[in-house]
Amino acid sequence: MVRSFLFRCRDTGMTVQGFADDDALPAEGAVRYEWVRCPACGAGHLVNPDTGSLLVDAREKAQTIGL
Ligand SMILES: [Zn+2]
């Protein structure tokens, strides 16, 4: 089943809608990212459909705290 989720485009700051296929659920506790073609900036983003956070943001956060 496909469900929708919202995330914020990093380039435009707009909140946009993405879609994820829930048929391929990851193991519990696993983090997944969906590739979404962004209608706001036209590029693609890797987004966590469960949290709406972008993979690039998660990476920067990890670097900031020294992981
Ligand atoms: Zn975008």
- The β-bridge relationship of strands 34-37 and 2-8 is unpaired
- The model carries a pTM of 0.77
pLDDT tens track for 19-39 = 888 776 667 778 889 999 999
Tell me the two tokens of residue 58. 């998660």
DSSP code of 26? P
CA distance 36 to 46: 6
Domain that holds residue 48: 2-25+33-64
pLDDT of residue 22: 76
Task: Report the distance separating Cα 4 and Cα 58, nearest Å.
Answer: 21
Domains identified in the chain, total number: 1
Query: If you measure from the C-alpha of residue 3 to the centroid of ligand 1, how many angstroms do you get, rounded to a whole number?
Result: 19
pLDDT tens readout for residues 40-65: 999 999 999 989 999 988 888 888 88
**pLDDT value at position 43?**
96
User: Is the distance from CB of 35 to CB of 44 less than 8 angstroms?
Assistant: yes
Q: Does the structure show a pLDDT above 80 at 4?
A: yes
* Residue 22 CA, ligand 1 centroid: distance in Å: 22
What is the whole-number distance in angstroms between the Cα of residue 21 and the centre of ligand 1?
20
Q: Report the C-alpha gap between 24 and 48 in whole angstroms.
A: 14
